[in-house]
Structures are given as C-alpha cells and as structure tokens.
Amino acid sequence: MAQLIYELGGLRSVMHMASDSLNWQCRYKDITHQGQEFLQIAIYITTKSRQSRSHLYLCCMLTTDEYIRYSRHIAIPSFGKEGQLCLKQAKVLVVGAGGLGAPLLLYLAAAGIGKIGIVEADTVDISNLQRQVLFDVDDISQSKVQIAKSKLAALNPEINIEVHESYLTTDNAEEIISQYDIVADGTDNFPTRYLVNDACVLLDKVNVYGSVYRFEGQVSVFNLPDGEGGRGPNYRDLFPEPPPADSVPNCAEGGVLGVLPGIIGSMQALEVIKIASGVGEPLSGKLFLFDALSFTHRVVKYSKNKETSITELINYDQFCGITSIQDMSEIKEITVTELKEWKDSGKDFQLIDCREQYEFDFCNLEGELIPLGDILQQSEKINKDKDVVIHCRSGQRSATAIMQLQQNMGFTKLHNLKGGILAWSAEVDPSVPTY
C-alpha cells in the first residue's frame, strides 16, 4: 500500500538515504488516486550495511502551467519532473530578507519551492537598495516581509508564501522553524546564527548557511541527514565559540560590495534546491570560501566534534558577549537633547566618535574620531579629568568602547550617547544624513 504524502519530509529523507547508499533504484509511474493525478515513486535501496529497503510514495502531480513554467528544469535528465515535484512539496524558511535573503527568496520562488516562509521585522531603507534587489525606491519605509510576499507572489502565484513579521528569538524559534524542512540563514549577526543552528539541531532541520563581509563570502550546509540515521556537522562544529563582541562588524559598519550578497545568496538557493530535490552533493562538512577581488575560492573540510552538545536554546546575546554591553547599569548615558544643551551652553566636555573613517566622512557631530578598534591604543587622547561623550551610529559600539575604557583604563567620566547619530538626526538635526 503506497503512502500518500503531501509534504516533502518522508520522500526527501529517503532520497538522501538513497544518495548515500551502496545501491539504489527509483521508478516512477503516473496513476490516479481518488480522482486526482499523482506520481507514484518507488525507491529500492541497499544501504552500506547491506540492508535492503523499499519505499513507495504518491506525490502530487504538476499542473499544465507548472510543466510550462518549469520546463527548463524538467528538461534536465538528472532532475526532470521528479525533481520538480520534490521542490513543489518542499517547505523552506528564509531567516532575514536582506542582502542574502533577497536573492535567496527570488530564486527559491522562481524555482517552485512549494512553501516559503520569511522571518523579518525590518522595514526597507534607502541604504538597502545597493544590494537588496527585491526592493525599490517605492518600498522605502515599508515592511520588508509584506513587500517580499507581494513581489514573490507576482513572480510565482503557484507557491505558498508565509510571513513571520518578527525577529527570530529563543521564544519563537522552535515554533516557527518546526513548520519547515529546510532553513536558509540570511542573518548578519552571531547571536541569531547560533540560535538558528541550535534550533535546527534540536528539531532535525537542515540549515543552509551564508555570510558576507566586504569582498568575501562563505557558504555551507549544516545538520544534513547522513543516510544512516544521523546528521552531518553543524555550525558549532565549525565555530564552537563566537568571536569577541563587536570584533566583526556587520554590513552597516564594515561594508559589503553590493553584488556579493547576490552571489552568496544564489549559492545558498542552489544548495536548498539540491537538498530539496535530492540531486547533487550538498556542502555538508565543507565550507566554501569566496574572494570576490581575486575571483578565487577554496573549500575547507570539517567534521563533527564529539564534544559539541546542544540540548536547549539559551541566551544568545549573553553567549556572544552582548549582554554585558547592553547592561547600561554600568554605563552613564546622555540623550541627544541633553548633548545639544551641553553644546549650546558651552559646557567644557570632549566628544569622541568611535565609528570608522568612512562613516565619519559621510556625517559627523564634529567630534574627534577614534575608531572602536583603536580606542584602547589611543586612550591617551581621551581626557580623564572632564566629562567625555562617546558616540557611534546607534549607541552599541560606543557602549562597547566605554566598557573597554572603564574596565581596562580606569575612566570614570564617560557618557554614552543614547541612540547615537541616528537619534541625533531624528530628534535634533534632520539635516544630518543617516545610513
């Protein structure tokens, strides 16, 4: 008796087991079941342990319009109608609709992934348009997930698009991720990367990872079924510990070449499609490293670490060293309106800008530039005898700078500008541009 499936999970796990087995055969037959047309898939497997298994499935057929839409896929002998049917039944969650998420979503929708989920809480900003090709100027200040859903539906009305208009947190991660088979991580911060990884491990979901920085990108596949009932390496096997807080800037702080997320995001889409359709060899246990400047790449192999243990979701801000930075009880704060009063009254104080040179050149509050990475080495430039205000773009890096100076250099009169230059532009002087 055939097992009737409307979801990808069972068939995909069998296909992965088959691809990693000693010998396997797959036979197909068009049949009618309860008045509907289906594809009967019979998979016969001999595993590495010499055990023989057979699996029989009935899968929803493609419509006439889908045959035409996906004809270039179906024409590929090793992909064909069967591969397209697997995509139709796949459920993929994309975390983040930014630089990586934009090309990911476009190509997954175009490829015919049956259900696509999007996790994002941000709105479109003009600075996004340099790389986030899903959006245009008419979308500025609007919800990214709602705009994405509309544009993806226009691209392919045959698929189902679910939006989760929130940030992924320890409170909602398992509930959201449990609804999907594959997760594509398009985030740009370490707490969320570890959260996505751990939730995928706990829920037995595949995690397709990508990251970009300036001219370089990375791609890998985590937690892939190994064909013998186990799972491949995960993010913690590759990066057991996060880097020091704020040692690796995000795109807004460190910059990224606009085309690079398109390249890496497309590679992530490729890995998702390979996994969902059961074709090719995914990047499990391999980290693909791409250098756009030299147009070279290398692949680093890695394996599972027996000491890696994930039993529950944790406080990822604390794990990544961010909680102490955000604990403002140890840091004096000053608002932008208070800073304006200090300026207008002629108060004797020092203003330090801890951003990067290119940020300072774009807009500044006429403070003295000492980038965060140089703050301890150049601490002699900071006056210990009078009030000092340190600011950055949003208040995060300046809080880090103050923590470092207080803990290592004994400063006591430092003040963090709450909200940074963004707050100054919004509340004091709109002529100061934001980014």
Active site residues: 251, 392
Residue partners of 159: CB distance under 8 A and separation at least 6: 109, 112, 113, 114, 115, 116, 152, 153
The count of C-alpha atoms lying within 13 angstroms of the C-alpha of 293, restricted to the half-sphere facing its C-beta, is 5
The β-bridge partners of 382 are: none
The β-bridge partners of 184 are: 94, 208
Alpha carbon distance 247, 190 (integer Å): 11
Residue partners of 281: CB distance under 8 A and separation at least 6: 274
Alpha carbon distance 362, 235 (integer Å): 36
**Quick check: helix, strand or coil at residue 246?**
coil
User: In the structure encoding, which two tokens stand for residue 45, read together?
Assistant: 């497997």
Residue keyed to tokens 């979308």: 139
Cβ 68 vs Cβ 84: under 8 Å = no
Pick the closest to residue 92 from 183, 15, 160 (CA basis). 183
Q: Across the chain, which distance is largest between two alpha carbons, in Å?
A: 86
DSSP labels, 131-166? T-TT--GGGTTSBHHHHHHHHHHHH-TTSEEEEE-S
Alpha carbon distance 344, 355 (integer Å): 24
Q: Residue 333: exposed, middle, or buried by beta-carbon count in 10 A (0-12, 13-18, 19+)?
A: middle
User: In the structure encoding, which two tokens stand for residue 86, read together?
Assistant: 């697997």
β-strand pairing of 115-119 with 91-95: parallel
User: In the structure encoding, which two tokens stand for residue 20, read together?
Assistant: 């990693």
DSSP labels, 189-254? SHHHHHHHHHHHHHHT-EEEEEEEEBTEEEEEEES-B-SSS-B---HHHH-SSPPSTTSS--HHHH
Other beta carbons less than 10 A from residue 401's beta carbon: 30
